[in-house]
Amino acid sequence: MLDLFIISIGLVLIIEGSLYFFLANRINLLINILQNINPKKIKNISIAIVFIGFCLIYFIIRPYL
């Protein structure tokens, strides 16, 4: 189980790092766009993404438990 956790952290780091690598030229534009969005809307989208992530992990791991 610890191996799976470490692998998932590694995948998150790869995805996050890739996004910053490919969007390096536009990162300032993205920051300006995010500053204009209502923080409540950002929180709602973030919690939805977290929920989807938990659901994906749960339904993938459930057969192995």
Give the tens place of pLDDT for each residue, 23-59. Answer: 888 989 988 998 999 999 999 999 999 999 889 888 8
37: left (phi over 0), alpha (psi -120 to 50) or beta: beta
Q: Angle at Cα 35 formed by Cα 32 and Cα 37, nearest 5°?
A: 120
Residue type, 11: L
Do the Cβ atoms of 42 and 34 come closer than 8 Å? yes
**For residue 65, is pLDDT > 80?**
no
Domain count, the chain: 1
Query: The pTM is what?
Result: 0.65
Do the Cβ atoms of 5 and 54 come closer than 8 Å? no
In tens, the pLDDT along 11-26 reads 999 998 998 899 888 9
Q: Provide the residue range defining the domain that includes 6.
A: 2-64
